[in-house]
Amino acid sequence: MDAYVHLVPWIVLIPLAGFLLNGIAGLASENYRTRESFIGTVSTLAVFIPFVLAAYLFIMMQGDSESASISLFTWIEAGDFSTDIGYRLDQLSLLMTLVVTGVGALIHFYSIGYMAGDEGYWKFFAFMNLFIFAMLNLVLADNMLLLFLGWEGVGLCSYLLIGFWYTDMAKSDAAKKAFLYNRVGDFAFLIAMFMIFQTIGSLRFEDILAGTALFSTDQVFLIGFLILIGATGKSAQIPLFVWLPDAMAGPTSVSALIHAATMVTSGIYVISRLSPLYMQSPELMLVVAVIGAFTAIVAATIALTRYDIKAVLAYSTVSQLGFMFLALGSGAYVAAMFHVVTHAFFKACLFLGSGSVIHAMHHVEHKLHEEGKEAHFDPQDMRFMGGLKEYLPSTYKTFLIATIAIAGIPPLAGFFSKDEILVMTFNAGMGEYGAVYIGLWAVALVTAFLTAFYMFRLTLGIFHGKFRLPEKVPQAAGADKLLHESPFTMTSVLWVLAGLSVVGGFIGIPNFVVATFTGTADVNLLSNWLDRVTLDADLILSKQVEWMLLFGSVVIALAGVFVAFMLYGEKEPESQDRRIATRLGALYQVWNDKYLLDEIYEGAIVRPTVRVSDRVLAVFDMKIIDGFVNFVGSVVQFAGSLLRYFQTGLVQSYAYGIVLGVILVVAMLLFR
Amino acid sequence: MIELDWYLGLSAVLFTIGVIGVLTRKNAIVIFMCAELMLNSVNLTLVSFSAQLGDVHGQILVFFSLCVAAAEAAVGLAIIIAIFRNHLTVDITKINLLRW
């Protein structure tokens, strides 16, 4: 791959150029800000061109190609420590690059229509490009420090983009929340880096992966655990997942970018990258798997109770990320990356589809206001929707395809990746800590059922039944005529993503499916592709067991869909939810309250911290620190007030001073 | 041939007269002339050392200081005239524009 690695810096730098162009020109000129189509095109191209480059590299590269590195310049040099701005091209980083730039470019293109007319249009696209730049640094870095730069970069950009409509206090609070929860994880990540450096003496992945044997068992556990804490922050796992559902406060295309393709996958990426390290400690793997499985089910149960369509999707993202962590913890790195890829397709499609719905509902509210009707409703609340499939045909079809994909119904993309995770978890149940893994497998199975259920609850609630807005809000009578499909730039992207959700799964067909009929088979492209980069656990299950598991997951998914149809088919979701709530009692209440996690953090951490800051630190700040600073200032002021009487403005008095000084100096020279 | 000491003595006397003039006189123009006196006493020292040592450097330096002194005189006189137009005086004790 050495012949092509020189293309890699361009992949990273072109989005940066897009950011700089839009950012600087937008800052400098009021005129430029209004040229929306130009801004959008530049910005989309700044992501699309890297995608073309990555695709070219992908064609040129084989599954067994050696990894290659390119160093642009030495970044930091201090003592024994030295770090380059260097990029690494291998199968894993290229796969992530393809997903980030591919899905990213589609989301940019979609945003051209979605953000039209927003006064911060140029700023939005500049931030989006910066986000892609940071993310590409993260996935292509050849050392941990540069990875960390990208890691912090996506954190910053998520803050900027989630809080994009910063005049709304709730939205800027959500941005702050995302930023701070990520910081908690980052500190652990930093400590892990120090510990790695202490043992290896270098932060390059090449050296780390070659030197994993140098770590003691305890060190492996500790380092892996600290990186895991960092990953729980970025990838929204227990206990740090609460920021992600709030992060949907940003524009919908931002949610699609963050939730589907980029930032939240970085935790999975980094653990896959360090898979040889993780595989050394079965305990560590178990911790990863447990966190993943519990996040998956906790988020899935919360998603059951939400009405805000973006909230359902956000919790669904958390839940799917939990699946990916479960795969990581089961030693199925390929399965985890597989789910990253397929999830990027269908979750981006779902988020952008919800954006299209919100767009339409916003339009209704806007038109009603123009007609002088005071109709207030939340355009993201599915209780006001229903029956939209007639008005938004493209959105409906693509949304449905993506829903089927995420629910895990064959042969769409989500089925293959989720099935592989379930198989690999069961497979891990054959090894050390087997009983626990079997338990986690059961949890995952329940979650898969819930996923199918809540996703169809959402789709049915939005698109089936009849349009409920006119009954709920009396002023909105006849509002259904105001509904309209989104422009071509938006629906075309939905169709591309829906297409990818259909065919995306075929890159990772399990080998045993074909092997049953032909004897042997080697059809799992993704597994062949990532073979050199990640260290996977061996699959030891027999074909019969695998077939049973596969049928099991199909049955579970179909059961989820069936139950959802029975409950929500043509009926109103609210009354159905009330029936479920009375049946489940306190349990439903806990789900509805989101396990009170936000309240617990608020009570146990935030409020005590604020109180200590108020009572002790603020006093310390004002009295001691400010006092010292003011004291220094007033000493200087006092000295100045004495000395200024020497400044008479009379030349002769100064001349006296000079002459006396000269005499003094001469005397010292003569009589020393 | 007059001894070097005499030249240096004369130079010291001229310089001291210049310094005292600068420190004690009130008329800005007189102070200006005293400053010229100091410059020329230094020129005298340079020239006498130059002759004594048979080295031309001192004389070259005198050319420089003469040029600079001429330029300074032109600028200085202009400033004094400007001040006089504004204040109708060149009494240095009454001009304290550079006060705090």
CB A159 within 8 A of CB A189: no
Is residue A536 predicted with pLDDT exceeding 90? no
Q: If we measure between CA atoms, which residue out of A201, A10, A16, A154 comes closest to residue A87?
A: A10
Taking an 8 Å cut-off on Cβ atoms, the answer to whether B22 and A650 are in contact is no
Query: What average pLDDT does range A34-63 have in this prediction?
Result: 92
For residue B99, give the nearest of A647, A652, A656 by CB distance: A647
pLDDT at A220: 92
Closest CA to A463 of A377, A364, A394, A405: A394
Tell me: the pLDDT tens digits for A144-196?
Answer: 999 999 999 999 999 999 999 989 898 998 999 889 888 888 999 999 999 99
Tell me, what's the pLDDT at A242?
87
Give the residue carrying structure tokens 């406060």: A249
Q: Which residues of B touch A648 (CB under 8 A)?
A: 96, 99
Whether the predicted pLDDT of A591 surpasses 70: yes
Is residue A87 helix, strand or coil?
strand
Closest CA to A287 of A438, A440, A420: A440
Question: What is the per-residue pLDDT for A55?
Answer: 93
pLDDT over threshold 80, residue A522: no
Q: How far apart are CA A433 and CA A282, in angstroms?
A: 8
At B14 the pLDDT is 95
Range of weakest confidence among A290-294, A433-437, A645-649: A645-649
Whether the pLDDT of residue A238 is over 90: the answer is no
- The pLDDT > 70 percentage for chain A reads 100
Tokens of A386: 């229903």
Q: In this model, does residue B89 exceed pLDDT 80? A: yes
8 Å CB contact of A659 and B19: yes
Mutation site for B-interface testing, chosen from A644, A651, A654, A656 by largest number of B Cβ within 10 Å? A651
A659/B23 Cβ within 8 A: yes
Total-model pTM: 0.81
Does the pLDDT at position A571 exceed 80? no
Q: What is d(CA A147, CA A375) in angstroms, rounded to the nearest whole number?
A: 49
Size of interface A-B (CB pairs under 8 A): 26
Residues A24, A22: Cα–Cα separation, whole Å: 6
Cβ within 8 Å of B, A 614-633: none
Model confidence over B18-72: pLDDT tens digits?
999 999 998 989 998 999 999 999 999 999 999 999 999 999 999 999 999 999 9
Distance CA A663, CA A666 (A): 5
Instruction: Tell me the H-state helices in A389-473.
Output: 393-407, 413-428, 434-463, 469-472
pLDDT recorded at residue B100 = 58
pLDDT confidence of residue A324: 94
More confident residue, A98 or B92: A98
Amino acid at A204: R
Question: In the structure, what pLDDT confidence band is assigned to residue A302 with cuts at 50, 70 and 90?
Answer: very high
Which of A116-120, A521-525, A544-548 has the weakest average pLDDT?
Answer: A521-525
B88 touches chain A (CB under 8 A): no
Q: Which tokens go with B38?
A: 């100091």
Which of A492, A468, A460, A488 has its CA nearest to residue A364?
Answer: A468
Burial class, A597, CB count within 10 angstroms (exposed 0-12 / middle 13-18 / buried 19+): middle
Mean pLDDT of A498-512: 88
Pairwise pLDDT comparison (A187 vs B98), residue with the higher score: A187
* Assigned token pair, A362: 């916003």
Measured between CB atoms, does A583 come within 8 Å of chain B?
no
Among A97-101, A311-315, A428-432, whose mean pLDDT is lowest? A428-432
Mean pLDDT lowest for which of A124-138, A401-415, A462-476?
A462-476
Q: Which residues on chain A are in Cβ contact (under 8 Å) with B95? A: 650-651
pLDDT in tens, A268-291: 999 999 999 998 999 999 999 999
Mean pLDDT for A254-263 is 85
Is the pLDDT assigned to residue A479 strictly greater than 80?
no
